[in-house]
Structure 1
C-alpha cells in the first residue's frame, strides 16, 4: 500500500481550511491583487447583502462600500504591499447598502501575500464589524468627559458651558442648556410638573458648525411655549427622542426653535430634563444634523446619566450661590455704609463684592480729633466667616471706646478670637463647622492729626501703603504679630510713622494686593495729582488698573488722605501744678472760646468742665499738667498729667465736700473718657456743636 504524501496532505488541509473560511467565517475576508482589486470575498462580507460574490471580482475595494475615508485606507494597503509590514486592527468607517444612513465601524487587518519565490501576490484583508463596541466606547468617553469637566466651578452658568463643551461634537452636533431662572439666583428649584410660565435662562449653546442659527441668544430669559417636547419633559421629567420631521404638530407652537432646527438641518432631537429629587432645575436639548445618525435608546440612556450629573453640579452651584448671596448680604449689613472721619482725615472704601465675606474695614472716630483705621480678614467662607467677622468688628469698636493703644487692643482682640475658636472646637463631632479653623488677620492704626503721625499694630502680615506728597511710596516696617485666634502668647508691637499733610494711606486685608499696589500701581504714585479731586475718583482709578487675579472685590480696602489740622482750631497750654492753675485755665479757655465764636451756653459749660478736670489733675495727678481745646466736629477738652491714677465717677453723699467734679463734667459733656500714654494719662470730654455753615 502506497504511503500518503505528507506535503500533499498539508496542501489539501490548507485548501480545505481556506474554503471553510470563505464559506462560513463570521468575519469579512478579502483577497486583493497588487492593484487592490477584489480577487475573492467570503459570504459573510458585509458588502454581500445584495450582489453575488462573483459580481465583486475585479472591482476596486473602494467600490464595495461608501467609505468615509477611502483614500487613507488605500494608502495604508499600498504601504502593506510595499513594505510587507502588516496593518493590524485599523478602525475604518463605511456605510452599507442595507443601512446607508449610519456609518459602521470595521476593524481591519491586512497581510501581504508572497509566493515561495518572493513575488508579491496581493493582500489578504479581514474586516470585523465593531460598530456597537465603538459606539459603546464613544458613549463611555462622553460620560467620562462630562464627569471630569462639568462641575469644576460653583457657577450654574459656567456649568452649562462646561457641559456643552463636553458633548459637542462627540455626542451631539448641537447642545443647548436652559436653567430655571430662580435656580440661577440660588432659589430652591420648583417641583415637577414645572408651573406654566416659569422662566428659563439659556445659559449655554454650542454647535459643531461655525455661525449656527439660534432660536434665542445665550443669556436670554424666556417662558417656554406649550405644549412641546420641551415642556412635556419638564412636566413628567422623562427624556424624549424626537424625530424632527417637517410636519410635527408641535412645531408651530414654538416657531423660533422650529426655524433654527430647520436652518441647522437637524433631524433628531434628544430632550432631557435636569431633575433632582422630583424638582426641575432645567433642560438639556441635544440635536443631530445632516449625516449624523439619529439618537437611539442607547443614547437616551446615556443622556439621562449626563443630565443627572449636570443637575447635581447645577444644584451644588445653586447652593453655593445662595450661601454666597446670603454671606454677601450679611457682610453688607455688618460693614459701615460710609467712613466716619474728621476734617483732618478724608477716607473712602473700595466696594467689596462679597467674594471674601470674612473681610472687613472700619473707621472709628476717637477722642482728640483722632481716627482709627481698621482692616481685617477672617479665615473661611460663607455665612460663618461673615458672622465671625461681625463679631470681631463689634469687639474692635467696643475696645476702641476705651482708647486702648493699638498693640493693647489687638492683644484683647486676640483673646476674644481665641475664645471664639475654643467655642467652635467644642461643637458636636458631627458639626462640620468644628473642623474649620477660626483665625484672622487685623491691622489697627490710629491717625493723630495734631502730631502728623500714625500708630499701628498688626496681627498677621498686614501693613499699609503710604504715599507721601513727594510721591515716594513705602510700606512701613510693621512687626507682624500672631494671627488672631491662633495658639501662642507672642506680644503685639506698635510702630509709629509720619504721615505729613497730603499723604495717602491705603489699608487692605489682602497682603498680595498691598504688595501689588506698592510695587506696580501707577495711579497710586500719581495720588498727589488727586489732591483737589474727590477721593472716590482715585479709588475707581485704582480698581480699573488692577489685574483680575488681584481684584479689589476680594479684599477690604480703605483709602485715606491726610489733611493738616488748622493751627487756629486747637490750643494747648502748660499749667503750673498749684491751685491757681484752675483760674488761669478758665481764663484762657474763655478767651479761646470767644475767638471761636462758641455760643454762651456751651462756653459756660466748657469753663466748668475745665475747672473740674484741672482741679482733679492738680489734686490727684502729677506734673506736668497740660490743657488742650480742640475745635473740630465736636468741642474737645483734654487735661493731661503724668499720674497713673484712674479717675472714676462716684455719687457723693449730701454731707461730702467733694467728689462731684467728674460727675458734673460728665453731665455737661456729650461723652468723656480716659486714655493712657507711656507718659501718663489724658482725661477728655466732648461737647456737641451746631453744624457748621460752609
Structure 2
C-alpha cells in the first residue's frame, strides 16, 4: 500500500484515481575524457548528487562497480564509435548518494562543440524501475476505473483510503463520506465487527482472506439483505508501511438460491417423519424458523385433522391451529391465546382471497388480531409485521394455510421468497395429505377393530376376567371369552400380522371362525386344527386370485398366532392349546408362576404340524394370564436384543402376577400392563387375566339312571325336588319336560350308563350323558306321527341346546336363563303326559 502522500492519492470527483507522471530522465554531459561537465536538475533528483558533488569527476565513478564502463572509446577518445547509441543490453547500475543503486538504460549522442571546445557527449539515463512503474500506474488506473470487481484500500489503522468505481456502485456502501472511517464503520448494518477482526489478522499475519460472506442491509437497499463475497490481502510499500486491499463481489442472487435449495433439502428430510397431521404441520413451522422467517403458524381445515376429505368450499370451513414456532432468540414473548394449538377460528377475508386464488398473499399486520399472529411486546421500532399467507394444497385439494411472519428487522418478503414458500408448503402439503389419508384409515381401522372386539364379557361364574388393551393404533391383537355348555368358559388371545384395516378384517375373520368352532364344543387342539385348515384354504384361494405364491403378508390371516384355553368350573380342569403364540402363565395360590406345559406350535396357515393340548387341574383362585408378544417387548427397550428383552419382560410379568395375586383382578390387570409398558414402548399389547372358581356342591347335582323307561317318572320327581331346593319353582315344568325327553331318547336310542346332571350358575343347565356317539336330530313331526316332537319342544322351552362328544360317548345339554319366564305358554302339566313313554 502507498502512503497518503504518494503520487496515487489524488482524488477526482469522490473516486480515488492514480496520478499520471512524466517519464523521469537524468541528463548529464561528459567530455572526451569521461569527465562530467554538466549535471541536470533531473539527475540531482534521481541520484541525489548536487552539481558540486559530481562536476569535474569521472562519470565512471558513479557506477556501482568500477569495472563497469559507460561505453568503449570511439575514434576521438571517450564515447561510442557512432553518433547516437541506444543501449539495449543489460542496464547500467548507478550508485546514488544514499548508497542504493539504480538500474538505468543509457542513451548517448554527441553535442555541438563550441569554439575551442573538445568533443562532448550528452548522456541520458532512464531508470528501468521507473519505467516499470509507468506500467504499474496503468494497471492501477484500470483497477480503479474499469474493473467490475469492487476494490478498496485500508491503511495500517484499517481506515478506508481508496475505493474504485465498482465499489462505488455497491448499494451505497462506499461514498466520499466513508473515506477515513474504520472498516466496521463503513457498513455498520452488517457483520462488520467480524470482518474487521479478520482484516486485522490479514494485516498482522499476511495470510490472505478468501471468500468471506459480508452480508447485511446496505444503505442503498435497506429492505433487502445482500451478500458480498469478500477477499483481502496485505500490501506493503518499499518503506515497510502496510495496509490491506479488499475486493468484493455481489453474490446475493447466488446465496439466496443456495439458501433456497438448502431449505428445500432440509424440508425434504425433516417434514413428514410421521404419519400424524399435527406433527407434520409443526415440522413445517420448525423448518422455516429462523432461516426463512421469524415466526410461522399452520392452520388446518377441521375435516383434515379428522382424516376426512376437505370441504369443496374451503373458504366456508373453520380453521384449527396445528403448528406454531416463534424464534425466541429475537426476545419476543408469545402471549396471545390465538397461538395455542387447537385454537379454532373462522377464515378472515384476506385468507379467503388466498384460498380463492390459490396464490400467496402478502399483508402488513399493523396490530396483532385474531386473524394474524398475536405477539406481545415491541414489534421493532415501527418496522411492522409482515405476513406471507400460502395455501396448503395437495392432489387438487386445499388442506389449510401456512403463514410466515417477519418482524423486528427492516425487511419484507420479495418475489424469490414467494417461490420458496410455495415449494416448501407444496412438499409439506403432500406429507400432510399422506398423514390425513393414514389418519382416515387409522380411524376406520380403529372403528372396525372396536366393532370386532368384545365390548364386555358375557356373564358367567367360571372365572373373574379382566383385560387391558394397550395400542397406539390398529394392531392385529385380539381376545375373546366364549361361554361353553356346562358352565365352562373358553378364553382366546391372538395376533394377526400387520395393522390397519386389513389386519382388523383378518382379526374379525379369525374371531368369527373360532367362535363358531367353539360353539361346536370341540377340544382346544381340534379348534386350532380346523382354524388352521381354514386359514390355509383362504391363503391358497387368495394366491390363486392374485396369481402369487401364498405367503404370510401384513394384514393377512396366514401367519396369525393364537392361544386357546377351556376351563371347567365343576371339575377345575383346564385344557390349553397354542398355535405359535406365547403359552399362558398359570399363577397358583401359593405364589408359584409357571407356563402351561405344552409347545407353542406353529402359526396358523404356515405348516401342517399337529397342535398339542395340555390338560391340568387347577385349585380354586388360580390365575391365568394370556397375552400378546407386544406386552413383553416393552421391557426390552433398553436391551437392544429382542430375545433378551422378551426374557426380561417375561420375568417381570411373572413378578407382577405374583405381587398382584391378592388384588382385584381389574386392578391387577391394569397395574401389570402399565408396569410392563412404562418404558414408553410403542408396541401394541393385550393382557387377559382370569381367576378360576370351582362350583360349590349345592350348584351341581348328578344322578346315575338305569336304562329303564320307568325311570322317566322318577326323573321328574328328582328335578322337581332339586329345583325347589334351589328356589327355582318357576323352572320345574320346562326342566321336567327337557329332562324327561332327553332321558327317554337316551333309553330308546343309546347305550348305558345314563347320567342326569343339573347345573345352576348364570344359566340352568340340564345334561344327559350316555355311552353312544350318535347325535339326536330334531324332526318336525307331521299330524299323524306318534313321536318326533320331543326335541322340538325342548328347543322351544330352552335358550339353546346341543351335543358335546366325549371319549366314552356324548352329552346332550339344554340351557335355560334363570331370570326368564317359562316358554311353555298354554302347555300345562297335563301336556307332559303326551311325552311319557
TM score, norm. by length of structure 2: 0.72
Deviations 1:629-651 (CA, angstroms, capped at 9, x unpaired) = 32222232334466655555567
Encode CA deviations 1:314-347: one digit per residue, 9 max, x unaligned.
2222221212112222222222221024212122
Does structure 1 residue 687 correspond to structure 2 residue 815? yes
Q: Deviations over 1:456-488 (max 9, x none)?
A: 2222233334333334444435422222233x2
Instruction: Establish whether residue 31 from structure 1 lines up as the match of residue 153 from structure 2.
Output: yes
State how far apart, in whole Å, the 1-side matches of 2:89 and 2:310 are. 85
Distance 2:277 2:399 in 1: 10
1:314 aligns with 2:432: yes
Task: Tell me the alpha carbon deviations over residues 189-248 of structure 1, each in whole angstroms, 9 at most, x when there is no partner.
Answer: 1224622xx211011111102532435142344342643x222212322211223457xx
Are the structure 2 counterparts of residues 631 and 126 from structure 1 closer, same or farther at C-alpha, using a change threshold of 3 Å?
Answer: same
Counterparts of 1:211-230 in structure 2, within 5 Å, are: 211-214=333-336, 216-224=338-346, 226-227=348-349, 229-230=350-351
Given candidates 500, 525, 531, the residue that maps to 1:407 is 525
What is the rounded CA distance, in whole Å, between the counterparts of 2:169 and 2:598 in structure 1? Answer: 84
Checking the alignment, whether the CA contact within 8 Å between 1:581 and 1:614 is kept in structure 2 is no
Deviation at 1:392, TM superposition (A): 1.7
Partner in structure 2 of residue 207 of structure 1: 326
Which of 495, 502, 507 matches 1:377? 495
Distance 1:514 1:455 in 2: 27
**2:463 maps to what in 1?**
345
In the alignment, the residues of structure 2 paired with residue 591 and residue 413 of structure 1 have an alpha-carbon distance, to the nearest angstrom, of 44
Task: Give the number of aligned pairs.
Answer: 672
1:160 aligns with 2:281: yes
Give 1:568's aligned residue.
Answer: 698
Give the RMSD, CA atoms, in angstroms: 3.8
Which secondary structure does the structure 2 equivalent of 1:415 belong to? helix
Rg larger in structure: 2
Residue 182 of structure 1 aligns to a residue whose secondary structure is helix
- Superposed CA offset, 1:87-133 (max 9, x none): 2212222332212343322222222345689x672333222222221
Contact 1:93 1:105 in 2 (8 A): yes
How far apart are the structure 2 equivalents of 1:13 and 1:594? 133
Does residue 123 of the first structure (1) align with residue 123 of the second (2)?
A: no
Classify 1:309/1:214 alpha carbon distance in 2 versus 1 (closer, same or farther; 3 Å).
farther
2:678 to 538, 541, 547: 547
- 2:483 pairs, out of 359, 365, 375, with 365
1:514/1:49 Cα in 2 relative to 1: closer, same or farther (>3 Å)? closer
- 2:585–2:624 Cα contact (<8 Å) kept: yes
Contact 1:512 1:550 in 2 (8 A): no
Match of residue 608 from structure 2: 489
**Distance (Å, rounded) in 1 between the aligned partners of 2:774 and 2:324:** 75
CA distance in 1, matches of 2:727, 2:175: 120
SS of 1:204 mapped into structure 2: strand
Offset, 1:38 = 2.9
User: Would the aligned equivalents of 2:772 and 2:810 in 1 still touch at CA under 8 Å?
Assistant: no
| Correspondence for 1:442 among 552, 557, 562 | 562
Which deviations, in whole Å up to 9, do the C-alpha atoms of 1:353-387 show, x marking residues without a partner?
68225332211110121101122222233322222
Q: Match for residue 87 of structure 1?
A: 209
Determine the C-alpha separation between the residues in 1 that align with 2:813 and 2:497. 38
8 Å contact kept, 1:194–1:280: no
In structure 2, the residue matched to 1:608 is 740
Q: Say whether 1:239 aligns with 2:360.
A: yes
TM-fit CA distance, 1:176: 0.7
Residues 31 and 41, structure 1, Cα contact 8 Å, conserved in 2 = yes
Q: Match for residue 356 of structure 1? A: 474
Deviations 1:481-534 (A, max 9, x none): 222233x21222222355432233332334444885643357644323324xxx
Partner of 1:296: 414
**Structure 1 unaligned spans of 5+:** none
Q: Aligned partners of 1:342 and 1:611: how far apart in 2?
A: 27
- For the 8 Å contact 2:469–2:685, the answer to whether it is kept is no
Give the distance between the partners of 1:58 and 1:416, measured in 2 at CA. 94
Displacement of 1:404: 1.0
After superposition, the Cα gap between the structure-2 partners of 1:97 and 1:405, relative to the gap in structure 1 and judged at 3 Å, is: same
Distance 1:290 1:478 in 2: 72
**Structure 2 residue 387 is matched with structure 1 residue 257:** no
In the alignment, structure 2 segments of 5+ residues that lack a partner are 1-85, 92-127, 636-648, 822-837
2:661 is matched with 528
Deviation at 1:445, TM superposition (A): 1.3
SS at match of 1:102: coil
Match for residue 651 of structure 2 among 502, 519, 529: 519
- Contact 1:37-1:59 within 8 A present in 2 as well: yes
* Residue in 2 that maps onto 1:459: 579
Deviations 1:157-191 (A, max 9, x none): 11111110111111110101000112111221122
- Of 729, 749, 758 in structure 2, the residue corresponding to residue 629 of structure 1 is 758
Q: Distance in 1 between matches of 2:568 and 2:162?
A: 102
Structure 1 residue 296: deviation in Å? 0.5
Deviation at 1:559, TM superposition (A): 2.8
Offset, 1:549: 4.0
Task: Give distance in 2, aligned partners of 1:35 and 1:354.
Answer: 67
Q: Distance in 2 between matches of 1:205 and 1:283?
A: 12
Partner residue in 1 for 2:99: none
Q: More deviation in 580-589 or 82-91?
A: 580-589
Q: Is the 8 A contact 1:240 1:271 kept in 2?
A: yes
CA distance in 2, matches of 1:354, 1:206: 27
CA contact (8 A) 2:315 2:347 kept: no
What's 1:148 paired with?
269
Change (3 A) 1:601 1:292: farther
Q: 2: CA distance between counterparts of 1:51 and 1:683?
A: 104
- 1:569-614 Cα offsets, whole Å, 9 max, x none, are 1134566789998888777666544533443314422541452365
Q: Distance in 2 between matches of 1:651 and 1:245?
A: 88
